[in-house]
Chain A
């Protein structure tokens, strides 16, 4: 279940044009899960390095690692 849910979330993110996603948006990929369950799945994806946090300081979003490159960010290219 967890692996299937993880894949659904990754497929959803990869299928979007925008690069940053709210947690609520990720949950759309797994409507069968309660938010708390979805959170565990998303956390696992972050721990495995398949998703990354992006934070403005007030809000947190998620993105694919390839799209969030620290070096590029530091040079103002992200």
Chain B
């Protein structure tokens, strides 16, 4: 089918071995005029080397302060079908499990009421429905909530849609029920999700084990990462089987061939804290020095497994901005059991939010506030006790700042008494 707009630059993106979104969009353009104009607008942006979308607006659905992102084209006379092109964020189910039935319904609805183009999933984790007009927002919202049992996700200065890894549903390393935590937090904090109140965005992400498959540590304001506090479970027979070439290492991730694992070179020598020892027959682990890097468990999953006294490490303060470098989150609670109904965790969250709301500047993420006012302030306000496990790097500044309240007698000195002792 001949397209309304010539797209020589976009056509380049159809070459090469990978599937191309341009090819998909051209297919859609055959039945949706929106996609035809969308391609034309993109080609113009490539030619001009600048965007032609206007971002943001007052559009939304009644009672919700998030979930819809207003978007308009700045050349509506050339591309009238994308003059309004709002994005809808839909709260994805925990771990992103769907039935084919619901996906078909969702796609059919979006072909009828929107552009027909989706992004599964956005970096926050939501289902992104790309491009619709203002008059379709309420009908889409009605279908989502009444027909599909779904809801809008978070955007703007809201709690963003909590996200998690696949968890215990499919992963034997998961130390916590990531899906239950995500569902529980989503239900508990509905108000924060839909009615903005924070200085800026706030993200919870939950990973079942320290492999951290949702990259919580790199991008969540509050990361919940599964861990254990007892010993790594060792099957010494299986360790010897790996060393003898009877098993496929890395669970087959590096190839399905069996080969002998050099336990000393591939595991013990690569342990970041050197907490392991291998004498050719028995593998010993000094668990008190283990930092949960997961390397040994990943190489020999049949031989090594996380312990059984499981819970989570709570970290705060990550952000992954585009212009500046990413900031990783810091440990604030080394171990918490994380059992339903998660009261201990929620008490912490509410103290953390109170402090951030009272002290955060506009558009200041929690991690930035901690950097500005200090981790000590954060810990004090969240009633947490400092712990060596919160220290990432030993400080190199020799000066120690004491809180006067923590020093007997404070800073007050009896000057007269001092002078009487030092008269010259």
Contact = CB atoms under 8 A, between A and B. Distances in A.
B181 interface: no
A63 B63 contact: no
B122 to A, nearest CB: 11
A53 B84 contact: no
Nearest to B197: A39
Interface in A15-68: 22-25, 34-36, 39, 42-43, 46-47, 52-60, 63, 68
Contacts of A58: 155-156, 200-201
Interface stretch (B103-111, B307-315, B356-364): B356-364
Contact of A60 (B87, B156, B360, B361): B156
B348 to A, nearest CB: 16
Interface centre among B65, B68, B84 (most CB of A within 10 A): B65
Contacts of A47: 63
B200 to A, nearest CB: 6
Contacts of B63: 47
Given A47-B63, A55-B57, A23 B72 contact: no
B93 interface: no
B58 A60 contact: no
B60 A53 contact: yes
B57 A73 contact: yes
Nearest to A38: B197
A73 to B, nearest CB: 5
Nearest to B60: A53
Contact-residue bracket for chain A: 20 to 34
A35 B351 CA distance: 12
Nearest to B59: A70
Nearest to A43: B195
A6 to B, nearest CB: 16
A3 interface: no
Nearest to A68: B58
A55 B134 contact: no
Given A57-B56, A60-B65, A76-B74, A24 B354 contact: no
Interface centre among A23, A24, A36, A55 (most CB of B within 10 A): A55
Contacts of B222: none
Nearest to B196: A60
Contacts of B357: 35-36
Nearest to B89: A57
B372 interface: no
Interface centre among A34, A43, A46, A53 (most CB of B within 10 A): A53
Given A56-B156, A57-B69, A60-B158, A73 B58 contact: yes
B70 interface: yes
Contacts of A60: 65-66, 156-158, 196
B83 interface: yes
Interface of B: 54-60, 63, 65-66, 68-70, 72, 74, 76, 83-84, 87, 134, 155-158, 195-201, 354, 357-358, 360-363
The 6 residue pairs across chains A and B that have the minimum distance between CB atoms: A60-B156, A56-B56, A60-B196, A35-B357, A57-B69, A55-B156
16 contacts: A23-B157, A23-B196, A23-B197, A25-B362, A42-B197, A53-B156, A54-B56, A55-B66, A55-B196, A57-B69, A57-B156, A58-B200, A60-B65, A73-B58, A74-B72, A74-B83
